[in-house]
Amino acid sequence: MDINFPLILVVLVFVSGVVWLIDIKFFAASRRQAVQGVEDQFQGADLSDDKIQLAYSTAKQAAEREPWPVEYSKSFFPVLFVVLILRSFLVEPFQIPSGSMIPTLKIGDFILVNKYTYGIRLPVIRTKVMDINEPERGDVMVFFPPHKSIYYIKRVVGLPGDEIRYIDNQLYINGEKMPQTLLASLPPAAPQYQIMSEDLAGVEHDMRKNIIPGRLSRRGSWVVPEGHYFMMGDNRDNSSDSREWGPVPEENIVGKAFAVWMHWDSFLSLPSFKHVGEIK
């Protein structure tokens, strides 16, 4: 079962905020009156006496004590509210769960995603309330695919109106062949795949392709509808992407991945910071 963290966060912020507001409106005044009553009761008392001091402190603490829902709401609401603002409108962290973006991103990479570069969207319902920029060819983007309500990360290959062809692991955009330069054939003794540098009309990035093209890499042709984007993984023969389930509608965009800040293979391993830096 997929956990909807944005929805959970919004609910927690709303509930804690309402509890705190209700307390301020209806119950906080009675506690203040109770505290004042304790002050009046001990006015003139010799608080240097240990017994009287203990009685005074006990009575005041009892008068000030907040119900546990109020106490927790006051503690958590500011923190949850700040987290909600950061995750919804500024930057959100993600972990890479698959190898579909190798060699650019590896399983276990922790990345940061810019949530405002493609426009400001409301949390949960994802309605855009402010336009800022549009996705550009070569961007690494987090989104919801057309067929699932889970996060995916791929590279923007096709823009609205583009004609995309992919033949034997060679990409063509609007009839133009995207140049590829060989970087390495691996493993060296009996190569099974190649690491290439691909030029997406001026945007260079590394990609990986099998010596023998996989099912989605042999032959395909698509026209990207208006308001949609054609997404492909950099690990071309091991990626479920727009070649399989079609272009991504604009309303499914989450944000632009811009940096790797940590790599952590598993709970039992140590985090690594060797490959942190900008995502290209």
Q: Catalytic residue positions?
A: 100, 154
SS3 1: coil
Rounded to whole angstroms, the Cα distance separating 211 from 196 reads 12
Spatial CA neighbour of 143 closest among 215, 36, 250, 6: 250
Rounded to whole angstroms, the Cα distance separating 242 from 233 reads 9
Residues 123, 126, 129, 132, Cα dihedral to 10°: 100
Rounded to whole angstroms, the Cα distance separating 24 from 20 reads 6
Q: Per-residue DSSP letters for 87-143?
A: IIIIEEEEE--SSTTTTTS-TTEEEEEESSTT-EE-TTT--EEE------TT-EEEE
Rounded to whole angstroms, the Cα distance separating 52 from 32 reads 21
Strand stretches in the chain, DSSP E: 91-95, 109-114, 120-121, 128-130, 140-143, 152-158, 163-167, 170-173, 176-177, 180-186, 193-200, 203-210, 219-223, 228-232, 248-249, 253-263, 277-278
